[in-house]
């Protein structure tokens, strides 16, 4: 029986250690004919594609579709629409498509922007979760994220007031951190840890010694975990 | 060359779909001679062991060590000490030990209680992250946890004031939910979703229709995700 419509899978590749990918993610990637990857720059290879090339995925059997999804806000809706049209065209012919992204696509993933358009057109969509960057940093630091009665806050960036987050035991701040005045206040109550390029060339992680130096010229793949100082 | 001291690995098994386990987790489990699992009741099999039996782990080659870790607060430190002594004894003879637990051991996992004792005695310890229950619920609901500028709060239980969390877009509440008055307030600003026994017999998930009915007699493996209502 020929399938009328393909399914659209959002497959999370994880971060950090290359084996931080689930069996389900690999199973889905190896089962489809088409793999889409987001590309933030026209000049450089997709980060997701680079990571996937190191995994046991049979890319030689696949059609790779690079979806241009720039980080800039202007015209971004237009790029999502164009990407979704490409996917819908393939799904309409009865092919399954997996979209592969770094980290966990359930948390600030780019899959969602395509998925909501594709779903509106009546296609089946599905998320495959993955290891997040804050789990990978916590793993590298060998310090658990939360234990016992501790509470955690997850923020997409550091555009936040200190009072909103100071009461939480663990604060995770994603995206390139640069709000120095916030972090200066935070050091009074929390220990700050930084992770840079986890699982990639130039990987660095550890406790922040000097805010001005450590937060200077950070690459895009940087994040902070703040842990409340005890006693 | 004979190793003098073994290493102690905290291996997260994930939740939900049985293939929600990482390649790294399987690799570590298959590489050690000893696998420890937490057991919360002396009468029933360890939940972690039941889950692991469905995975491609060669348990027939392993020594399985059940560590009694009851949920009750009384004498719990004593049980951790006894468990850690058992592990230290095996590590001292040069054997590696993996402790396997459901979900992500970095987030409210029981590994930490043993690991801090084992580490103090000079042994190498390491976390292997996994898929959390809130990722598994989000996957089942087919709704991302956070997108764009949304902020998330993760709580171990519902012993919290509404005002502390009402401003957050996504609120995750672990452990058997029973604070009905909190949830009644929350429904004014958030949509509530419940997950029960994800990946196990009796699995259920969906939006909460009726608080009194839906939160009645919940099993231990239950959690809530609240998403801020838009507009």
Residue B8's DSSP bridge partners are B97, B125
Q: In chain B, where does DSSP find H-type helix?
A: 23-31, 47-53, 76-92, 111-120, 133-141, 162-165, 180-186, 211-214
Residues 166 to 205 of B: which have CB under 8 A from any A CB?
Answer: 167-168
Rounded-to-integer distance, Cα A16 and Cα A13, Å: 10
* A7–B contact, CB cutoff 8 A: no
pLDDT in tens, A4-43: 799 999 999 999 999 999 999 999 999 999 999 999 888 8
Residues of B in contact with A158 (CB under 8 A): none
Helix (H) or strand (E) holding A141: helix A133-141
Rg (CA), chain B: 19
A150 or B70, higher pLDDT: A150
Which is nearest to A12 in space by CA: A22, A3, A4, A2? A22
Residue B218 neighbours by CB distance under 10 Å: 18
Rounded-to-integer distance, Cα B214 and Cα B231, Å: 26
Q: pLDDT below 70 — which residues of chain B?
A: 1-3, 231
Q: Would you call B129 and A139 a contact, using CB atoms and an 8 Å cutoff?
A: yes
Q: Are A134 and A172 in contact (CB under 8 A)?
A: yes
Tell me the shortest Cα–Cα distance from A110 to chain B, in angstroms.
9
Does residue A57 carry a pLDDT above 80?
yes
Tell me the shortest Cα–Cα distance from B190 to chain A, in angstroms.
17
Q: Would you call B22 and A26 a contact, using CB atoms and an 8 Å cutoff?
A: no
pLDDT at B1: 45
Q: What is the rounded (10 degree) CA torsion for A55, A59, A65, A67? A: 10
What topology does CATH give the domain B133-228? Answer: 3.30.950
pLDDT at A3: 55
pLDDT at A41: 87
Q: Would you call B21 and A22 a contact, using CB atoms and an 8 Å cutoff?
A: yes
pLDDT at A149: 95
pLDDT in tens, A177-193: 999 999 999 999 999 99
Domain-by-domain residue ranges, chain B?
8-128, 133-228
The predicted model gives A211-220 an average pLDDT of 91
Tell me the shortest Cα–Cα distance from B200 to chain A, in angstroms.
17
What topology does CATH give the domain B8-128? Answer: Cobalt-precorrin-4 Transmethylase; domain 1 (3.40.1010)
Q: Would you call B27 and A21 a contact, using CB atoms and an 8 Å cutoff?
A: no
Nearest to B151 among A20, A128, A154 (CB): A154
* Nearest residue on chain A to B21, alpha-carbon basis: A22
Tell me the shortest Cα–Cα distance from A108 to chain B, in angstroms.
4
Among A75-79, A153-157, A197-201, top mean pLDDT goes to A153-157
pLDDT at A4: 73
3-state secondary structure of A207: strand
Residues 88 to 117 of A: which have CB under 8 A from any B CB?
Answer: 104-109, 112
Rounded-to-integer distance, Cα A218 and Cα A199, Å: 16
Does residue A194 carry a pLDDT above 70?
yes
Does residue A169 carry a pLDDT above 60?
yes
Q: Would you call B152 and A150 a contact, using CB atoms and an 8 Å cutoff?
A: no
pLDDT at B71: 77
């Amino acid at each position: 029986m020929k399938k009328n419509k393909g399914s659209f899978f959002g497959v999370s590749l994880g971060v950090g250690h290359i084996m931080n990918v689930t069996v389900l993610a690999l199973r889905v990637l190896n089962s489809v004919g088409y793999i889409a990857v987001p590309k933030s720059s026209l000049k450089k290879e997709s980060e997701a594609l680079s990571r996937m090339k190191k995994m046991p995925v049979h890319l030689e059997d696949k059609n790779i579709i690079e979806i241009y999804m720039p980080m800039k806000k202007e015209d971004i809706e237009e790029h999502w629409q164009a990407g979704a049209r490409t996917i819908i065209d393939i799904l309409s012919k009865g092919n399954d498509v997996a979209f592969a992204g770094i980290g966990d696509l359930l948390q600030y993933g780019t899959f969602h922007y395509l998925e909501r358009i594709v779903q509106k057109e009546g296609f089946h969509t599905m998320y495959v979760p993955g290891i997040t960057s804050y789990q990978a940093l916590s793993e590298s630091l060998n310090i658990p994220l939360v234990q016992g009665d501790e509470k955690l806050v997850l923020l997409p960036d550091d555009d936040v007031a200190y009072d909103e987050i100071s009461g939480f035991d663990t604060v995770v701040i994603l995206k390139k951190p640069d709000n120095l005045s916030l972090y200066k206040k935070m050091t009074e109550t929390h220990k700050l840890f930084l992770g840079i390029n986890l699982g990639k060339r130039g990987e660095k992680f550890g406790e922040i010694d000097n805010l001005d130096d450590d937060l200077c010229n950070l690459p895009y793949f940087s994040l902070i975990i703040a842990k409340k100082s005890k006693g």
